[in-house]
Structure 1
Amino acid sequence: MRALVQRVSEASVAVDGTVIGAVGPGLLILVCAMAGDGEAEALALAERIVKLRIFKDEAGKMNLALPAAGNAALVVSQFTLAADTSRGNRPGFSYAAPPDEGRRLYERFSAALRALGITVENGEFGADMKVSLLNDGPVTIWLDTADRPVKG
């Protein structure tokens, strides 16, 4: 699975003009299940994100993880993280998991974050969403479970 993690002062997601998820200080996590991913990748990605020490401590250094910072996560599905731009100017998305599997893993990822004690708000899988954020730092980090061995 892939994720683009952004430390935010605030973030929200709207569908048809209605805000369906919002967080104050915390993370905006854009997430994509890749073809061949399974539950092990969803769990590994959630655990990795929860342990990222990207929040400021009392000395102003990035030294705190999400639970210690007492923050929440807004999780938004984004299959375009699977974009293949190697063959021209129009991205291909064949590396993304099929929609049913992508939805299942997106929901499993969100549930894993909740099980790890994180307050989670969600976008709507497959919907045309408008995401607003105020990036804090800015801090933006790319994670891909393919870059690390996944136990499972």
Structure 2
Amino acid sequence: MIALLQRVARAHVEIAGCTVGAIGPGLLLFVCAEPGDDEDTADRLVAKVLKLRIFGDAAGKMNRSVADVAGGLLVVSQFTLAADTSGGNRPSFTGAAPPELGRRLYERMLATARASHPQVACGEFGADMQVHLVNDGPVTISLRLSPRTDRQP
């Protein structure tokens, strides 16, 4: 799975002019499933995001997680994170999971996040969304998790 994480002062998602998800201080998480990703990959990504220490402590050092600061988490599906621009000027998105898998893993991420964190908002899978944010820092981090190959059947 591919993720782009931004520390925000606030963020919200609109669809057709209506706000569907909003947070104050916290993390905006853009996510893209790839072929071969599974529920375990989605669960590990959520765990990583919630534990990532990218908020300042009393000394200003990035040493606190979104959970530590009681921040919000806004999760937005974005298949364009899988863009391949190596073949010319028009991106290819064949590296993104098929829509059925992408939706299933996006919904899994939301369920896992909501079970682990008190403040989770989201966009709508496959919708034309406008994402508004105030990047804090700015802090923007890309993450990529691959499915585990060491699991027993």
Q: Which residue of 2 aligns with 1:96?
A: 96
Measure, in 2, the Cα distance between the counterparts of 1:118 and 1:26. 12
Q: Which SS does the other structure have where 2:67 is aligned?
A: helix
Which amino acid letter does the alignment assign opposite residue 9 of structure 2? S
Q: CA deviation at 1:143?
A: 0.2
Measure, in 2, the Cα distance between the counterparts of 1:120 and 1:24. 11
Q: Which residue of 1 aligns with 2:39?
A: 39
Q: CA deviation at 1:97?
A: 0.6
Measure, in 2, the Cα distance between the counterparts of 1:103 and 1:150. 22
Higher helix fraction: Structure 1 or Structure 2?
1
Number of residue pairs matched by the alignment: 151
Q: Which residue of 1 aligns with 2:127?
A: 127
Q: Which residue of 1 aligns with 2:84?
A: 84
Q: Which SS does the other structure have where 2:48 is aligned?
A: helix
Q: Which residue of 2 aligns with 1:111?
A: 111
Cα pair 2:41 2:148 within 8 Å, conserved: no
Q: Which SS does the other structure have where 1:67 is aligned?
A: coil
TM, length-normalised to structure 2: 0.94
Q: Which SS does the other structure have where 2:45 is aligned?
A: helix
RMSD: 1.4
Q: CA deviation at 1:83?
A: 0.5
| Shift in CA distance, 67/73, structure 1 to aligned 2, threshold 3 Å | same
Measure, in 1, the Cα distance between the counterparts of 2:150 and 2:108. 16
Q: Which SS does the other structure have where 1:12 is aligned?
A: strand
Cα pair 1:41 1:150 within 8 Å, conserved: no
Q: Deviation per CA, 1:80-129: give whole Å up to 9, x if none.
A: 00111111111101111110110010010111111222411010100000
Q: CA deviation at 1:145?
A: 0.1
Q: CA deviation at 1:149?
A: 5.1
Cα pair 1:73 1:118 within 8 Å, conserved: no
Measure, in 2, the Cα distance between the counterparts of 1:42 and 1:138. 26
